[in-house]
Amino acid sequence: MRRHPNALAEHYRRFRVAQRLLLTGHSHQAWPDAAHAGQLRAFDDAARLVDDKWPVAFEQAARVGRGFARLHDDGAGSYVLASNTHELVARFLSALPLRQRPRLLTTDGEFHSIRRQLARLEEEGIEVVRVPSADPHAIAERLIAAVDDRTAAVLASAVLFHSGRIVPGLGRVLAAAQRHGAELLVDLYHASNVVPYSLPGEGLDGAYAVGGGYKYCQLGEGNAFLRTPPDCTLRPVITGWYAEFDALADPAHPQRVAYGRGAARFAGATYDPTSHYRAAAVFDFFDRMGLEVPFLRRVSQHQVGLLAHAFDRLDLDPARLRRPAVPIDELGGFLVLESPQAAELCAELRRRGVLTDCRGHRLRLGPAPYLSDRQLRDAIAALDDAVNG
């Protein structure tokens, strides 16, 4: 897979991955050609079955949910899908007892789906406590120290989106939250399919989790998930009529709104199932190719390490562009370089045919398993030219 073109590249011809320098692997990985067949099948099933397509569509969704569960070694949890993580975070927040526990605990490094929604709740009087995220090794202890009996939930990432750094110790955070009667929601987006992340192995069987397939899973848009623990009884206020499927009546409260089992209680309403056909086809492709998480982690670590070492050899002025001194094995699926001109460098790279992105002063370089070593070196050469050109 290190040669040029990469052996996987032939399976991504529609995205022309061998001809393009796509360092967008942390944001939007290319879809394999198998995804195209999945999308066509969605249309064909709709044309053939019309409104009778839904049992077939629901089976695609179930396959996608099982795919996410496998990625996290998760035999105990339950999964529900939605178009994006914000929908699911909003439903989760709406299920919390915020009148009795008007306090939420998080970090200052969460992605916008959580950051913005919590900021808006804060404007409405909910106390939001944010612990610093600059040192990922300190996050767990800071969250443990801050959780109390007024806390409804803790919301934290397994891998930080702005720095790419892995956050250890979230299992201990869950134990502390449970001692105080609070929930834990883990954002798995930057771990799924690039960092081996076993929920039971991390001590997170009792946690809620969100994530999706837009990045390292190569599933495209419309494939977010919420994972619930096996004993979930939360009743989201923001609730769609799909949550009534398989609903269980409450004999003690027959007039109350009923919910289905497990994660189904967080279901929404009518949706476009095309994304699930595509995702199921991509999960099948990964299975056929033997692209399992431990292997993908080895590929990612090689690629991120190659980018880092190639950058270090440039010996650039650190005042203009620097690499934080972080061990490669503490990073997720991308490399971060810091510069006061990160946005300008990102634009210069685009002009040179290298697609990537930036977050504030951080330039993010995201490889993917279909790229060759030569492509990665070419990208760093383009970066050198962008800095010194």
pLDDT value at residue 381: 99
Tally Cβ neighbours within 10 Å of residue 327: 8
Q: How far apart are CA 367 and CA 202, in angstroms?
A: 26
> Which domains, ranges and CATH numbers included, belong to the chain?
9-30+292-388 (3.90.1150.10), 36-284 (3.40.640.10)
Q: How far apart are CA 376 and CA 71, in angstroms?
A: 27
Q: Are 151 and 180 in contact (CB under 8 A)?
A: yes
Q: Are 156 and 186 in contact (CB under 8 A)?
A: yes
Tally Cβ neighbours within 10 Å of residue 145: 10
Kindly calculate the radius of gyration of the chain based on its CA atoms and give it in whole angstroms: 22
Summarised one tens digit per residue, pLDDT across range 201-258 is 999 999 999 999 999 999 999 999 999 999 999 999 999 999 998 776 566 667 889 9
At residue 322, φ and ψ (nearest 5 deg) are -135, 155
- CA nearest to 161, candidates 127, 221, 198, 212: 212
Q: Are 76 and 229 in contact (CB under 8 A)?
A: yes
Q: Helix, strand, or coil here: 312?
A: helix
Q: Helix, strand, or coil here: 357?
A: strand
Summarised one tens digit per residue, pLDDT across range 69-110 is 999 999 999 999 999 999 999 999 999 999 999 999 999 999
Question: Whole-number mean pLDDT of the chain?
Answer: 97
Per-residue pLDDT of the chain (389 residues; tens, 9 = 90+): 678 889 999 999 999 999 999 999 999 999 999 999 999 999 999 999 999 999 999 999 999 999 999 999 999 999 999 999 999 999 999 999 999 999 999 999 999 999 999 999 999 999 999 999 999 999 999 999 999 999 999 999 999 999 999 999 999 999 999 999 999 999 999 999 999 999 999 999 999 999 999 999 999 999 999 999 999 999 999 999 999 987 765 666 678 899 999 999 999 999 999 999 999 999 999 999 999 999 999 999 999 999 999 999 999 999 999 999 999 999 999 999 999 999 999 999 999 999 999 999 999 999 999 999 999 999 999 999 999 98
